[in-house]
Amino acid sequence: MSRPRARTLVAAGVCLVLLATVVAVVRLTEGWTGSVTVLANWSGAEREQFERAVRPFEEEHRIDVVYQGSSALSQVLAADLAAGTQPDVAVLPGPGELTAYAAKGRLRPLDGLFEAGDYDGFWVPRVAGRDGRERTYWLPVKTGLKSMVWHGGGLSGDGIGRAAGEPDRWCVGMESGATSGWPGTDWVEDILLQQAGAEVYARWANGDLPWTDPRVRKAWRTWGAMVGAGDRSRVGRLLQDNFARGCPRRNLEHLGSFRDSHWKQSAGDFVHSAEVIPGAREGADHWEVSGDLAALLNPTDEARKLIRFLADPGTRLPDFTAHRKAAAPAGPEDAPRRRIGSVLRGAERRLCWDASDTMPPNLRDAFHRAVLRFLVSPGELDSLLRELEALSGDRRPTLPVCGGG
């Protein structure tokens, strides 16, 4: 797949900045009162959904929302903070980096800007700031359910189980540009969660359980057996296939709730991953989840108003919301979406963060690369785990990875 050259990307970025500047100037001349910058990694349809969602806010408050998108979100934000040019609001995937930024005093508390009780405590925990006091530092603006196995309508439980035992029946794609490999980290994380339980999973995610632990190693080997790691012809396809490519209805797919629109075309449904993961604990019912979390870096009046707007249950944000008062999907064709929303909004003690989203960026990126190498050479697993453990040595703020603990 050909990609634009660096000069092309720079030119495109300059054009976007100039366009945003022109729009801002025009709006100021028309009586708009100010602006608020938002940094996130949304692109394509997600970005369009966000920009549509904030139009009522812009019109009501006469405040320009200037969206800054980047696929290298962590690096851009770190550079902006170092230069003192940080955005007013940053939307990061998962709480790991935000927890670290809060501890360094980089984030501004959100207490009083929205009703935290409208969300389960899992989504809006109180974490320690630089002064050691615990406050609310982020707001979930988009959430996703994982630990899901999608299948075509009409496939029975026994049929799902038989298909799960055949590597060729799994739709697996690792290609995702700069973040290629993340679908594999989701597999490994979920298998560990269902096999070893939430306590072990949380310890590992927080760096308190070694990557070389036998339970972690077992999760990797289970995944390898399920998808055919080491099968050269199959793995070649897995590495090249994009994660969002089409999946035939006779097959299975281990991807999150963002795939609901694809499977809706096949009258698809999903089961909890523990139903098909070999060695899953009896009664395993924890769900891995993800979330795009908005944090306040510059406490301007405009930015505070935007946070309040994003917390309004009537704001139509991308994907699923964890807001308890938000309207649920209606209609019989939306049954899977209702189930997804129910879990995200009402199962606090059975939710666990996507572990890689709680890790430092360098460790998360190494995890992505490691799953790609493992697919090619599963016999090198022990050396891969030792490399990851060596990167995991730095202490980091402890995060409540799973609900209720």
Q: Which two tokens stand for residue 305?
A: 């108003």
Question: What's residue 33's pLDDT?
Answer: 81
Q: What is the 3-state secondary structure (H, E, C) of 4-54?
A: CCHHHHHHHHHHHHHHHHHHHHHHHHCCCCEEEEEEECCCHHHHHHHHHHH
Distance CA 201, CA 258 (A): 23
DSSP conformational letter for 62:
T
Distance CA 24, CA 26 (A): 6
- CA gyration radius, the chain: 21
Which of 3.30.720.210, 3.90.950.10, 3.40.190.10, 3.40.225.10 is the CATH number of 33-143+290-334?
3.40.190.10
Please report, in angstroms and rounded to a whole number, the separation of the first and last CA atoms in the chain.
44
Q: Is it true that 33-143+290-334 and 144-288+351-391 share their CATH fold?
A: yes
Question: What's residue 216's pLDDT?
Answer: 98
Place of tokens 């995944």: 223
Q: In angstroms, how far is CA 64 from the centroid of its own chain? A: 27
Q: What angle do CA 195, 196, 197 make, to 5 degrees?
A: 105
Question: Can you tell me whether residue 211 is helix, strand or coil?
Answer: coil
Amino acid at 54: V
Distance CA 114, CA 307 (A): 8
Question: What's residue 7's pLDDT?
Answer: 34
Distance CA 279, CA 35 (A): 53
Question: What's residue 404's pLDDT?
Answer: 64
Q: Which CATH architecture has domain 144-288+351-391?
A: 3-Layer(aba) Sandwich (3.40)
Ramachandran sector of residue 193 (left: φ over 0; alpha: ψ -120 to 50; beta: rest)? alpha
Distances (CA, A) of 65 to 306, 309, 358, 372: 9, 12, 28, 38
What residue spans define the domains of the chain? Answer: 33-143+290-334, 144-288+351-391
pTM of the model: 0.88
DSSP 140-181: EEEEEE-SEEEE-TT--HHHHHHHHT-GGGEE---B-GGGTT
Distance CA 223, CA 235 (A): 13
Place of tokens 């019109």: 59
Question: What's residue 330's pLDDT?
Answer: 63
Return averaged pLDDT per consecutive 10 residues of the chain, 405 residues in all.
35 42 50 89 90 95 95 92 96 93 96 92 92 95 96 85 95 94 98 97 94 98 97 95 93 95 90 96 94 97 97 86 79 79 79 94 95 98 97 75 76
For residues 145 and 339, is the Cβ–Cβ distance under 8 A?
no
